[in-house]
Structure 1
C-alpha cells in the first residue's frame, strides 16, 4: 500500500495552470539556440546538485561543483564532500540520459543502480542494496527519532508496488503531481541504508524528465529545496503528512501543494535567469567590441558574472581553444580590468575585475521579487 495521490482543489489547479504557462514560455524560449544556453544549463544542474546535497549537510559552492562536473579538482571543497557531489552528479547525468531514452521502464534494478551511483563510495553502507534492517531518522540536534521506516520485510513489496505505480498508476494525473508522489513514497519507504533523501529528489526529477515537461535541469526543484528556510519547511511537511512511522494513510494534499509552490517559485527564478542571461551577454558583447577584444571572450565574462570565478580550463573547453589561446584571452581581459587573477598554476582562477564588479552591482539592484502563488 502506498500513500495515495490527492484530488486537487481549484486553487491548486490554478497554480498548476500558471506553472504550465511558464513551462510553455520556457520551452518556447529554449527552442531558439543562444550562445549562453550551455552555460546556463550547466549552472542550473550545478545548483540542483548543490541544493539536494546541502539538505544532507554536504556544502559546496557552485563553482566547485562545476569543477567536479568537469572532472577537475575543486579549489575549496573537501575530498569527502567532493565524493558526495561527484556521486550525485553521476546519478543526475544518468537521469538526463534516461529522460530522453526511447525505450524505458521503471524497475527496482534501475533505482538500486541510481542509489549505487549516489553512495557507491560508502561500501560499508550497502550501496544499491535494499537495507537489511530497521531504519530510524533522528533529529540532528536532539537525537530524537522523528521517523521510523517500514519493517524490512515490507520493503520489497512496497518497492514493487511503487515501481508498478510509476509505470502504470495515476497516468491521468498531472506530471508535477505524479513526480511529487513518487518523491514522497520513496522517501517514506526509505529502502536503502543511506542516500534515500537524495534518491527521492532525483526520482522526482526523473519523473518530470520522462513527462517531457522540460529538460531535467530546467524542471528540478532541488535548488529551491536546498535553501535553508525552505529546507526547514520541507522537513516539516514530510513529517506532517507522513507521520512518525510508515503507514500510508491521510491527506497528502499539503505535500503536493508544497511541491507545486516550489515548482512555481523555481520556474519564476529560471525564467528570470533566462531573460537576464540574454541581457548580460548582449551588454558584455557590446563592451568587448568597444575594447577591440575577440567576441568569444564574452563566454569567459559571462561565467565570471554568474559564478564569480573562472578557471582557464573551463573557458578553454567551452570555446574549443588551445591552452595558449585561452591564457592570452584571459590575460587580455585582466589587462582591461574585466578580470582579476588569483593563485598560481593549478589553483589559478579569475574573479571579477573592477569593470565587471560595476556591472554586477547594477544588475543586483534590478532583482524582481518572486511571487508566492498561494498568497
Structure 2
C-alpha cells in the first residue's frame, strides 16, 4: 500500500524564505536571551494566546487575558475566560509533548477545550466546516474518515521529518490539520499550537515567539490562503504565507535586538523589574530597584527608558504629576 503524502511542492519562494528565516535566527542575539528574560517570555506567550483566541472570536482584550492568567477576577463571558485558562495550560505543556504523536495531540486538545466542549480530547462524531466569520470556506471531510486521515498525516510527518525542513513541515501540517478539522471545536487553536510545537522542537526559542500574533494581524490573508489551497488541491500558497509571516516577525524581533544593544545596563535593569502594561509609581519602581536617590532614578533609569520608547508615562503632558505612572511598552510593534 502506497504511503500517504500531502499534496505540495517545494518552490523557489519557500527555499528563499527558509534560508532567510534560518539566517535571522542565527544572528538575532535577543533570541538566545529569551530564556533568561522571564517577563519577555511570559508577555510573548500571553500575546500568542490572546491572538489565537481572538482569531476564533474570543472578545477578551489583551489586558483581560493578562489578568486572567495572573489569576485576577475579570468581568467577561465565562466560556471565554475558561478558554484563556485552558490555552495557557496547553501552551505550558509544549516542552512535555511530542508533536509527532497522536496521543499527545488528543491530550493537549483535552486541556485546550476542558469545560468548554463535550467532545474534549476525542475526534468529532459529526460533520463540520471551516468558517471565516459567518462565511463557510469549505466543508471538512466526513467524520468517519477523520481517525484514518489523522493517522495518515502523522505517519507522513514521522517519515518526512527526516528530509523536510521543519519550517515547511510545520506549515504543511497546519494546513492539512485545518483541512481535516478533526475536532468539534478548537481546531484552529490546536493547528496554531501544534505549528509552534513542531518549530519549538527544532528551535526551542519558537516556544516564546508569538507567531499567532502575526497570523492574527493578517487574519484575512490567513483564511484566504487556506481557501485558495483548498481550491488548488495543495498547500503551496499556505506554506509560502506562513514562511513569509515568520520571516516578517523575525524582522520585528531584529529591531528589538538592535534596540537592546544600545540600551544601558540601567535601563535593562529597570525593564527587568517591570511587567508589560502594568502602571507603576516612581516609588514602587525605586523600591524594586533598591534605589534611594530620585535623581539617580530619573537620570540613569526612567528618563533614558522613556527616551528610547521602552517606557511611557500615563500623564505625559505633566511629567511631575502626583498621579504619574510608568508603563513598560511592548517592543514588537503590536500596534
Q: Which residue of 1 aligns with 2:213?
A: 223
Q: Give 1:316-335 correspondences, 5 Å limit.
A: none
Q: Which residue of 1 aligns with 2:27?
A: 25
Q: Which residue of 2 aligns with 1:65?
A: 65
Q: Which residue of 1 aligns with 2:158?
A: 167
Q: CA deviation at 1:49?
A: 1.0
Q: Which residue of 2 aligns with 1:342?
A: none
Q: CA deviation at 1:235?
A: 0.6
Query: Quick check: 2:117–2:185 contact (8 Å CA) kept in 1?
Result: no
> TM-score when scaled to structure 2?
0.78
Secondary structure of the residue that 2:9 maps to in structure 1? Answer: coil
Secondary structure of the residue that 1:226 maps to in structure 2? Answer: helix
Whether 1:299 aligns to 2:252 is no
d(CA) in 2 for partners of 1:311, 1:50: 23
Q: Which residue of 2 aligns with 1:116?
A: 110
d(CA) in 1 for partners of 2:33, 2:83: 35
Q: CA deviation at 1:262?
A: 0.5
**Gaps in structure 2 of 5+ consecutive residues:** 303-311
**Gaps in structure 1 of 5+ consecutive residues:** 99-103, 244-248, 286-295, 317-324, 339-349, 369-375
Query: Quick check: 1:49–1:222 contact (8 Å CA) kept in 2?
Result: yes
Q: CA deviation at 1:255?
A: 1.1
Q: CA deviation at 1:259?
A: 0.7
- Of residues 222, 234, 255, the one that matches 2:238 is 255
- Of residues 107, 127, 135, the one that matches 2:128 is 135
Q: May I ask how many residue pairs the two structures share in their alignment?
A: 309
Whether 1:197 aligns to 2:201 is no
Secondary structure of the residue that 1:130 maps to in structure 2? Answer: coil
d(CA) in 2 for partners of 1:22, 1:193: 38
Secondary structure of the residue that 2:138 maps to in structure 1? Answer: strand
- Of residues 237, 240, 247, the one that matches 2:225 is 237
> TM-score when scaled to structure 1?
0.70
Whether 1:270 aligns to 2:253 is yes
Query: Quick check: 1:221–1:266 contact (8 Å CA) kept in 2?
Result: yes
1:310–1:172 distance in 2 versus 1, CA, 3 Å: farther
CA deviation digits over 1:345-368, x for unaligned, max 9? xxxxx974545999989x99x999
1:136–1:25 distance in 2 versus 1, CA, 3 Å: same
CA deviation digits over 1:304-338, x for unaligned, max 9? xxx332589xx99xxxxxxxx66x99xx99x98x7
Q: Which residue of 1 aligns with 2:43?
A: 43
d(CA) in 1 for partners of 2:51, 2:106: 22
Query: Quick check: 2:279–2:325 contact (8 Å CA) kept in 1?
Result: no
d(CA) in 2 for partners of 1:309, 1:78: 23
Q: Which residue of 2 aligns with 1:371?
A: none
Query: Quick check: 2:141–2:180 contact (8 Å CA) kept in 1?
Result: yes
1:358–1:19 distance in 2 versus 1, CA, 3 Å: farther
Q: Which residue of 2 aligns with 1:4?
A: 7
d(CA) in 2 for partners of 1:139, 1:48: 19
d(CA) in 2 for partners of 1:352, 1:282: 24
- Of residues 163, 170, 179, the one that matches 1:179 is 170
1:298–1:185 distance in 2 versus 1, CA, 3 Å: closer
Q: Which residue of 1 aligns with 2:84?
A: 85
The two structures, once aligned, show a CA RMSD in angstroms of: 3.9
